[in-house]
Chain A
Amino acid sequence: MSQLGTEAAPLRVAVVGAGPSGFYATEALLKSEIDVRVDLIERLPSPYGLVRSGVAPDHPKLKQSIEVYKKVAALEGFRFFGNVTVGRDVTPRELREAYHAVIYTCGAETDRRLGIDGEDLAGSHTATEFVGWYNGHPDYRDREFDFSHETAAIIGQGNVAADVARILSKSVDELKHTDISQHALDALAESRIKTIAVIGRRGPAQAKFTTKELREFLELENCQAVIAPEELALNEASQAELADKKEGVVVAKNMAVFEKMAEDTEHGKSRICRMMFCRSPVRIEGDDRIERVVLERNELSGEPFSQRASGTGETEVMECGLLFRSIGYRGVPIEGVPFHDSWGVFPNQDGRITDGPDGAVVPGIYTAGWIKRGPSGIIGTNRACAVQTVESLKGDLSNLPSDHSGTDALVKVLQERGVRSIDFTEWQRIDAEEVSRGEPKGKPREKFTRREEMLQVLS
């Protein structure tokens, strides 16, 4: 038997999930010295994961990373299988039997829960639903959001919370030339929201926004960002965080933006976005739907950079008709792949999936991206992460079983089950059609928001 990864015996890898991590893992494999074929499997007909359906429509520059993924797709040895769901159309075991190695890069597809009463009342949503909805993700196409109330609350102070707040804050004119989906633009055009409250459990020095996202709130056409000045008082440990030579750089930049928001300026704008700190929701109330959220004041304690928020018992009531929770994502298990329930990830050592957090390595299955390390970092963080996983895989080459047929076995299974997979050329036709649909509206594209519409393009 020839050495795996040579011309006589190319390494056959399936990568599950065509988001950034999937493409970076694919790129690391196809640009490596070994001879390799990569089949990139994606449950949607469209590739690019959160770059397509997560990155906000008014951040077009970040979406230019797609140009890199297109180049990866053009590398020799690449094949795309869109519209194929692992766990339904093909099982992990079948993949394991078909390929020498499988890399799971399927992201963190659901939100963490607040774990409070009233969380499931109508009008209380996850950020994921809203982001997916305005970005035209087929899973969220038919969600409905009621923008007829004056106040919307967002729980969480990371960049996803910032995206949600900014989309609610912007006017139709500010959004209409982006790739926001038409159904979302139409619904937001009727919005009566006047106040958007962005609520964090810790203080301004601990908010997870990047400064760039925060600064955008200073430039909104119809919305003024505000903070009550007393909210910016820092305890001793937070002052130490601010003074830290390395980590303090971002804290200082964020604080400077918050201080601008706290200036009492005449604005005459129709909306305000209020940043609120050191508060946790303890209860969501309402008869048939959310009418108010009860917030508890927190105090911080602990060492700099590991301060924790704990409730003081003092509560306040905020009337609101819409609430989004954005307190972090977690992965979704796939039957047949080990899953760490409390972390919401596939347990692993340097990308090698293990049988539980301290368990033995399960040969031949790997992971990268958010499902490997949890939902942290930005697009590029996943490149370093995927490269590490591919290094692990390459180190295992001599231990991998060598008698696998790869693509042929997958194609056979899909044919037997009548699964209509989409290859990259077909995706490019859908892509071109989206772009031309956007043109008359002055939009970079008008996305198809239903699987059937995408398949229709190909018929």
Chain B
Amino acid sequence: MTTIVTDNCKGCRYTDCVTVCPVACFHYDDEMLYIDPDVCIDCSACIPECPVQAIYEEDDLPEDKQEWIEINAERAPDLPVLEDKMDPLPGADDRKTALGF
């Protein structure tokens, strides 16, 4: 079991999730966030924080997003940790609207 950030984060990167992470398991690049599954404790605090519902528990991950398990696990450890909220990416609100949120 782990918790996974998926493609809805891409181009938004709202980072509300990181403020409630008890173990600092979020990492980031220029596009989005990733969760390090070795650090995450599966508390799920981050899931309701995401304005675009990008974060899933593994059990709830839709069939067409399964690849994100591996992407998170591979990308996260090499990227910097994010512990505090940053400004969203430019155009995040437009993308949020386009995603239907």
Chain A minimum-CB-distance residue to B53: A249
Per the bound structure, the CA–CA distance linking A381 and B17 in Å amounts to 10
State whether A210 and B22 are in contact (beta carbons under 8 Å apart), knowing that A249-B53, A253-B60 are contacts in the complex.
Answer: no
Give the dominant DSSP class at A's interface.
helix
Per the bound structure, the CA–CA distance linking A211 and B24 in Å amounts to 23
| Contacting residues, chain B, for A20 (C-beta < 8 A) | 22
Q: Is A250 engaged at the interface, CB distance under 8 Å to the other chain?
A: yes
| Contacting residues, chain A, for B20 (C-beta < 8 A) | 377, 380-381, 383-384
Per the bound structure, the CA–CA distance linking A210 and B59 in Å amounts to 13
Cβ contacts A258-277/B at 8 Å (1 or 0 each): 00000000000000000000
Per the bound structure, the CA–CA distance linking A378 and B48 in Å amounts to 12
State whether A212 and B42 are in contact (beta carbons under 8 Å apart), knowing that A253-B60, A379-B22, A381-B20 are contacts in the complex.
Answer: yes
| Contacting residues, chain B, for A378 (C-beta < 8 A) | 43-45
Contact A377 B48 (CB under 8 A): no
Q: Is A65 engaged at the interface, CB distance under 8 Å to the other chain?
A: yes
State whether A68 and B22 are in contact (beta carbons under 8 Å apart), knowing that A61-B42, A62-B41 are contacts in the complex.
Answer: yes
Task: With both chains docked as a complex, state the minimum distance between the C-beta of A12 and any C-beta of chain B, in angstroms.
Answer: 24
Per the bound structure, the CA–CA distance linking A237 and B44 in Å amounts to 27
State whether A380 and B101 are in contact (beta carbons under 8 Å apart), knowing that A61-B41, A68-B23 are contacts in the complex.
Answer: no
Contact B44 A210 (CB under 8 A): yes
Per the bound structure, the CA–CA distance linking A365 and B46 in Å amounts to 30
State whether A250 and B45 are in contact (beta carbons under 8 Å apart), knowing that A65-B22, A387-B19 are contacts in the complex.
Answer: no
Q: Is B94 engaged at the interface, CB distance under 8 Å to the other chain?
A: no
Q: Give the residue of B45, B59, B60, B100 whose beta carbon is less than 8 angstroms from that of A381.
A: B45
Residue positions of B touching A, CB distance < 8 A: 19-24, 41-46, 48, 53, 57, 59-60, 84, 100-101
A-B contact pairs, 28 of them (CB 8 A): A20-B22, A24-B22, A61-B42, A62-B41, A62-B43, A64-B41, A65-B41, A68-B24, A210-B44, A211-B60, A212-B59, A215-B59, A245-B100, A249-B53, A253-B60, A378-B43, A378-B44, A379-B22, A379-B45, A380-B21, A380-B22, A380-B23, A380-B45, A380-B46, A382-B22, A383-B19, A384-B20, A387-B19
**Closest 9 interchain pairs by CB?**
A380-B45, A380-B22, A380-B20, A384-B19, A379-B22, A65-B22, A64-B41, A61-B41, A384-B20
